[in-house]
Amino acid sequence: MPHLECCVYVPVAPPRAYEAWTIGWASWFACDDTLRVVPEVGAPFFFERLAPAEGERSERRIPCYGRFLALVPTACVRFTWVTDAGGTAGTETVVTISLAPHRDGGTTCTLTHEGFATAEARDRHAEWWRVVLAEQAARLATVSEDAWQEARERFGRLPANRSMPDAAFLPTRSYPDMDAAVDWLEHVLGCRERLRVPSDRVQLTLGDGAVVVAAWDPASAPASGGRPPATLLVRVADVDAAWARALARGATGLSAPVTQPFGERQALVRDPAGHAWMLSQTVADVDPAQWGALPAVRR
């Protein structure tokens, strides 16, 4: 059965448009009290949407089901889609959302829908999606940052990146003898080496947490307050938004957001009390070997 394709301009940047199709359904489409979603490949989602009144018929709630097939942060969301007799009639179809940055800062959203049981269902959805996408574009322009932050806290999951531990919070400690520090952390705290960048840093895991040991040269980076430098890395959903919030609340910007070769977009700030925080957003899943990291050697 031929597929359908729709394209629309959305007046928000690709990271926000990506969130709209993963954790942000309630901001433009789903009944908030029904939304159940985990933005992970293979995970199912469910919500009800309101169908508009027709003639004497009042609004009704229509259940929508699916499961995520592919998630590429800021670029693509692919999921199955099942609705009632007026939609896919129980047939599991497939929707692909492709997101591309627009020159004015917004996003070009291309929706492809395939797998219909009948031509009638396809044609019905072709018109329906055009209306839905137009409504999405209008509604997303009005969603507050507080609403997005609430959605991240309720449903957000950190995108996978092989170059980063799964932990959301990673303290980085600097040592003049990196190998001795790793040995101490492994034998005293039970840490396990995950990745190593020779002469630079080592990632270690501890339970569901993680820590980074960084090589430190006192001559080039003097100790502060009698101790080697330390940074607290926090993985965030939108590093540019977190950077703006930090500066607005009195932080000093040390390094503006920049995309790194290991799949993270990062910024460094110092909070009003003088502590350094690295803000890190996963933007790609990168093989550690591509940027010089070595897998752990189990001892």
Res 170: pLDDT: 93
C-beta of residue 93 within 8 angstroms of C-beta of residue 81:
yes
* Average pLDDT score over residue span 95-104: 95
For the chain, the structural domain boundaries read 4-155, 169-295
Residue owning tokens 């293979």: 42
CA–CA gap between residue 22 and residue 157 (Å, rounded) = 10
CA–CA gap between residue 215 and residue 175 (Å, rounded) = 5
Given a cut of 70, is residue 162 above it in pLDDT?
Answer: yes
Does the domain at 169-295 match CATH 3.10.180.10? Answer given as yes
The CATH code of the domain at 4-155 is 3.30.530.20
* Average pLDDT score over residue span 191-218: 92
How does DSSP assign 226-293, residue by residue? TB--EEEEEE-S-HHHHHHHHHHTTPEEEEEEEE-TTSEEEEEEE-TTS-EEEEEEE-----GGGGT-
Q: What is the pLDDT of residues 107-154, one digit of tens each?
A: 999 999 999 999 989 998 999 999 999 999 999 999 998 898 888 878
State the average pLDDT for the chain: 90
